[in-house]
Every structure is written in structure tokens, then in C-alpha cells.
Amino acid sequence: MPRYQYSCEKCGQLSNFVHLSDEVETDCPKCNSSDTLVKVLTQFRTNKTGVKKQKIGHLTEQFIEDSRQELELQRDKLSKNR
């Protein structure tokens, strides 16, 4: 389930909630005031375990090298078939 962060307009407390996307929290758990929570935009996060973070440049270099090798294999096959 997604996590959402809310800010209380009365006390300023930031609170985290886990709920469905169509649900909305309204009551502050700290000051117990009603209808004071406003959803805060947060950065999207994923929980990928075991995946090494790689820089875009490294991924691009790897793609180019893989493509170069594949093109060489195709060129060799074409030259053998002629």
C-alpha cells in the first residue's frame, strides 16, 4: 500500500499514513484537531532490494557496448552467408 505524508494546518506536525489512493486522512494524530490535515507532495520511492544503483552514463556505455557486439555478430553472419 502507498505511503502518504500529511501536514497539520493547526500544529504543523508532519504525519505519515499508509492507505489506499482514494482514501484521505483528515484528523491530526498529534493535536487531535479535525479537518486540518493537508496532503504533502513527496518524492516517489521504490523498494528494490539486491539491485545495484548505476549511473546513467554507465548504463549508456553498457548499452553501446552490447549493441556493438550484437552488430558485429550480425555482420559476421551476413558475411558468412554471402
62: left (phi over 0), alpha (psi -120 to 50) or beta: alpha
pLDDT score at 52: 59
pLDDT score at 50: 52
User: Which regions of the chain are under pLDDT 50?
Assistant: none
Q: What is the DSSP letter of 35?
A: S
Question: Closest Cα to residue 37, out of 28, 49, 48?
Answer: 28
pLDDT score at 76: 86
pLDDT score at 11: 94
pLDDT score at 31: 94
* Identity of residue 55: K
Query: Which grid cell is 37?
Result: 490535515
- Boundaries of every domain in the chain: 1-41, 53-82
For the segment 41-63, what is each residue's pLDDT rounded down to a tens digit?
877 666 665 555 667 778 788 88
C-alpha to C-alpha distance for 51 and 43, rounded to whole angstroms: 20
